[in-house]
Amino acid sequence: MRIRAIFRDLKEDAVRRPKLFALYFILRLLVIGVLVLQVTNANWDNVLWCIVTLILFTLPSFLEKRVKIDIPDTLEVIVLFFAFAAEILGEIAQFYKSVPLWDTILHTSNGFLAAAIGLALIDILNREERFAINLSPRFVGIFAFCFSMTIGVIWEFFEFFMDTTFGMDMQKDTIIDGVYDIGLIDTMKDLIVNFIGALVFSILGYFYIKNRGRGKHANFVRRFVMTKIDKSDEDKNM
């Protein structure tokens, strides 16, 4: 029954959003191809990155189907490309080392996207009738910013853990004056660009919430803000 449900969901997605479904299919096929190649070469670190990427690909569908959160297509596409660019291109294809500013671009994007997710989460809670709260747009914007920075810090903790525990080089250690630099410069650059991305979206999100979706940049922000799926809307789509 579970397998039938999965195929039914795939068929519905293919009919409802064919372009997004095609993107999912292509990216998953590429990752599976890389996974097979890494298994053949017994490169188990890269096998792990492939598995992580495939898991990340399932998160948007899980949120929509199980948690009843509507993810805008623009946000979903960017999340998919982000996961592929970070894990497959960045880690396995070594773009972090061979492509200038690759790491900077991804961390800036992470700050922007994490702020969008944080704003959506607190806004959904704020608009729930079950909770007697009425958070101001300023608080929502500050929460989105803090949420994004927290995600950025946790990721730096993860990089440090992977480097010290498994001997990886996620923090880009280098030798300076005969001693190892502990990746401080890389870490600070990552947090600074995360700060910039978070700040930009938090400001846009503040005005979006304040004007309740109206205004000059409302259509742009709406492409990144998740919303709760209403029961009535869900029934219409069935």
Angle between helical axes of 18-40 and 44-65 (0-180°, round to 10): 160
Count Cβ atoms within 10 A of the Cβ of residue 157 and give its class: 0-12 exposed, 13-18 middle, 19 or more buried: exposed
CA distance 35 to 216: 44
CA distance 220 to 124: 19
Whether pLDDT at 237 is above 60: no
User: For 91-118, how does the pLDDT look when each residue is reduced to its tens digit (9 = 90+)?
Assistant: 999 999 899 899 999 999 999 999 999 9
Task: Give 26's Cβ-side CA count (13 Å radius).
Answer: 9
User: For 40-96, how does the pLDDT look when each residue is reduced to its tens digit (9 = 90+)?
Assistant: 999 998 999 999 999 999 888 888 888 889 999 999 999 999 999 999 999 999 999
**pTM as predicted:** 0.86
pLDDT of residue 233: 52
